A and B are shown apart, each in its own frame.
Chain A
Amino acid sequence: KNQVEQSPQSLIILEGKNCTLQCNYTVSPFSNLRWYKQDTGRGPVSLTIMTFSENTKSNGRYTATLDADTKQSSLHITASQLSDSASYICVVFTGTASKLTFGTGTRLQVTL
Chain B
Amino acid sequence: DAGITQSPRHKVTETGTPVTLRCHQTENHRYMYWYRQDPGHGLRLIHYSYGVKDTDKGEVSDGYSVSRSKTEDFLLTLESATSSQTSVYFCAISILGTGDFPYEQYFGPGTRLTVT
Residues of A within 8 A of B (CB): 4, 31-32, 41-46, 49, 51, 89, 91, 95, 97-98, 100-105
Contacts and interface: CB of A to CB of B under 8 A. Distances in A.
B48 A97 contact: yes
Nearest to A50: B101
Contacts of B4: 43
A51 B44 CA distance: 22
Contacts, number: 53
A44 B31 CA distance: 17
Contact of B110 (A41, A45, A49, A97): A41
Interface of B: 1, 4, 31, 33, 40-45, 48, 50, 56, 58, 90, 92, 94, 97, 100-110
A16 B110 CA distance: 31
Contacts of B33: 98
A49 B101 CA distance: 9
B107 A44 contact: yes
B87 to A, nearest CB: 14
